Amino acid sequence: MKIYLKEFLNYLNSRMYSVHTLRSYRIDIAQFDAFIKSKGINTVREIKPIHFRSFTASLMGKGYSNSSIARKLSGIRCFMRFLKKRKIIEFNPAVSIKTPKKEKRVPSFLSEQDMKNLFQSLPLNTPLDLRNLAIIELLYGTGIRASELVGLDLSDVNLYGDTIKVFGKRKKVRILPLGSRAKEALIKYIKIRGDKAGPLFLSKSEKRITQRDLQRIVKKAIVKVATLNRMSPHTLRHTFATHLLTRGADLRAVQELLGHESLSTTQIYTHFTVEKLKEIYRRAHPRAE
């Protein structure tokens, strides 16, 4: 299977799939490969639907969540479609396999007061402090993904037009508005950084910051003001979307800003707006109680 996996990943790379997706697919397919070999299956042509069901059951037995199992099966299905398209297998054994229903998770997010407290708690004494402020302002002010922020170059920032150019999943480009606070923080940071072309956000060693660097910066900021199950750059993305919808933003506009292909993905953020409407209704309507 390894030789086909390499061809598959090269194919996905040519289709502009993200590095993160390629890594996940490689790990998940390799895990499936090890599983079927343990069952005495040595070629992809021997794989049958029952092997997918057994694999799913083994993952459940190991405590994997439905979401994790669904993600793994999605990658393996994609691989099988590739093999069928290349005529390496005659029939796709994964066609009839059902995916476990995903658990509905309420995204972790910060309140508006939490965000005010967060910005007030940030130190502004060193060049790295100013860089971190610009990072958090940009994450909260635009809702971009961690990978998108890390990938930004100086040339992607248009301070005159108040926009940034973001390369999303599969290299899809979108232009996002730059709010006044984020713009102000970027101007201060760029003044210290200098106008040398290249990565926008630099590490101490003058290299592009990594997603691990970003995780550390954001978690350190959030832990001062809130206790959440997850504290990551994605938390600020959730917060961005939730605050927009709470203040009346159109769902489709938020979809565009987030770079979601499907509106249903954006709808997870309506959880808070519905609860807030209920609260307002209970307080305001004379017959609500």
What are the φ/ψ torsions at residue 109 (nearest 5 degrees)? -150, 165
Q: Which of 81, 169, 174, 208 is catalytic?
A: 169
Any catalytic annotation for residue 20?
Answer: no
Largest CA distance in the chain: 70
Any catalytic annotation for residue 271?
Answer: no
> Alpha-carbon distance 253 to 89, whole Å?
43
Any catalytic annotation for residue 285?
Answer: no
Any catalytic annotation for residue 219?
Answer: no
Q: What is the token pair recorded at 148?
A: 């998108």
Any catalytic annotation for residue 84?
Answer: no
Nearest of 72, 78, 80, 126 to residue 102 by alpha carbon? 72
Q: Which of 77, 208, 219, 234 is catalytic?
A: 234
Q: Which of 131, 145, 183, 193 is catalytic?
A: 145
Q: What is the DSSP letter of 224?
A: T
Q: Which of 25, 140, 189, 269 is catalytic?
A: 269
Give, in order, the Cα–Cα distances in Å from 138 to each of 90, 106, 133, 180, 184.
Answer: 49, 23, 8, 11, 11
> Three-state DSSP class for 207?
coil
Any catalytic annotation for residue 51?
Answer: no
Q: Which of 131, 237, 238, 243 is catalytic?
A: 237
Active site residues: 145, 169, 234, 237, 260, 269
